[in-house]
């Protein structure tokens, strides 16, 4: 049985509801604030160093953000269901090295590399999703365990070796360095995946059901939503996107070591939460997550241009994450009180 149409959880609640209106306004304000902060940061850095916004500087910003935007998109779908995937960074490393090993010294096309990365990532996502949805193991435990398992397999496979750009086919490297109308291929691919995911979450019932699961799992179960299948699909999608990101990592950098993207897990989660997706699920958009990813990567680029220690990038990211979680907590409390007050009227 499908969820009733009024439970369109792409919006927090029906129009006119006080609690829903409050949550929606705060969410939009959060996304607007992130966009404004991003613009101000870029302008301030440009005033200090005008080369920050020359043709190469803009391309570097887009390229630096493209992979993180991809990972944030996949992570968003999982977090919306009130779960988390801490294995995405290790999946990127595994798929990047696997794709590099597969095409090293050959003339395979870029499409083959992308399909291989997506397939490997999907398998990793299905394993995590099956343990979370059908095994009933907490997502934090499963994905943290997967992180170490995948890292161990990757290091055992690599044996300290690396994939060199000289052995990667030109077609693959062109994917990472080429452009169309001056726009690099990588951000175009990221934008396509982002837009398709946003459309699915808003326009399809199965996408809106992910919001329902994150908002109230018990109500979603009573409404007949197949929670286990939806959660499994969310993890498979996150894994597929991470696998795609791994293939693009190979295309972008050419040289790949076993611990590629090591430590990116928390950066991805930070981008998602800073972008307005509640860590408790059910609220937010992938557009906001993409803005969060853009903000974090721009902060890192700006600090390099301004010759500021990279320590401050981690400190700022942590501060933004704490502020985002605190805001979500306050908004959720106020929304709950507003809904209770409305129900008594």
Euclidean distance between CA atoms 178 and 220, whole angstroms: 45
Euclidean distance between CA atoms 62 and 40, whole angstroms: 17
Tell me the pTM: 0.85
Segments in the chain below pLDDT 50: 1-20
| Confidence (pLDDT) at 73 | 96
| Confidence (pLDDT) at 22 | 52
Bridge-based pairing state of the strands 183-184 and 179-180:
antiparallel
Euclidean distance between CA atoms 296 and 264, whole angstroms: 12
Structure tokens at 33: 């604030």
| Confidence (pLDDT) at 56 | 82
Euclidean distance between CA atoms 274 and 326, whole angstroms: 11
Q: What is the CA radius of gyration of the chain?
A: 20
Euclidean distance between CA atoms 126 and 174, whole angstroms: 31
| Confidence (pLDDT) at 106 | 83
Q: How many other C-beta atoms lie within 10 A of the C-beta of residue 47?
A: 10
**What is the domain count for the chain?**
1
CATH number for the domain spanning 39: value is 1.10.3470
| Confidence (pLDDT) at 25 | 62
| Confidence (pLDDT) at 55 | 82
Q: Residue written as tokens 């452009």?
A: 179
Looking at residue 107, the DSSP 8-state letter turns out to be -
Domain that holds residue 141: 5-344
| Confidence (pLDDT) at 36 | 85
């Amino acid at each position: 049985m499908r969820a009733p149409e009024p439970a369109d959880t792409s919006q927090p609640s029906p129009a006119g509801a006080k609690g829903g209106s409050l949550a929606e306004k705060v969410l939009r304000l959060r996304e607007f604030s992130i966009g404004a902060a991003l613009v101000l940061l870029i302008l301030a850095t440009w005033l200090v160093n005008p080369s920050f916004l020359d043709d190469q500087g803009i391309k570097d910003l887009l390229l630096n953000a493209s992979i993180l935007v991809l990972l944030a998109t996949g992570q968003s779908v999982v977090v919306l269901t009130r779960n988390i995937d801490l294995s995405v960074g290790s999946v990127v490393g595994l798929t990047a090295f696997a794709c590099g090993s597969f095409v090293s010294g050959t003339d395979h096309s870029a499409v083959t590399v992308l399909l291989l990365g997506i397939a490997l990532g999907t398998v990793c996502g299905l394993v995590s999703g099956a343990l979370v949805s059908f095994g009933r193991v907490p997502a934090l435990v499963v994905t943290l365990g997967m992180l170490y398992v995948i890292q161990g397999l990757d290091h055992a496979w690599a044996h300290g070796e690396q994939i060199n750009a000289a052995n990667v086919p030109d077609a693959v490297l062109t994917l990472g360095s080429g452009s169309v109308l001056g726009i690099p291929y990588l951000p175009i691919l990221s934008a396509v995946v982002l837009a398709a995911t946003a459309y699915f979450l808003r326009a399809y019932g199965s996408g809106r059901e992910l919001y329902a699961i994150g908002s109230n799992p018990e109500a979603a179960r009573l409404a007949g939503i197949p929670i286990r299948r939806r959660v499994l699909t969310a993890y498979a999608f996150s894994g597929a996107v991470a696998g795609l990101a791994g293939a693009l990592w190979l295309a972008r950098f050419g040289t790949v070591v076993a611990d590629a993207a090591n430590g990116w897990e928390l950066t991805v989660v930070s981008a998602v939460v800073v972008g307005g997706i509640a860590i408790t699920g059910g609220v937010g958009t992938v557009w906001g997550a993409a803005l969060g990813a853009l903000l974090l990567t721009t902060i890192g680029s700006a600090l390099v241009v301004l010759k500021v220690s990279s320590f401050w990038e981690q400190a700022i990211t942590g501060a933004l994450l704490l502020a985002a979680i605190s805001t979500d907590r306050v908004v959720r409390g106020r929304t709950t009180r507003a809904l209770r007050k409305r129900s008594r009227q």
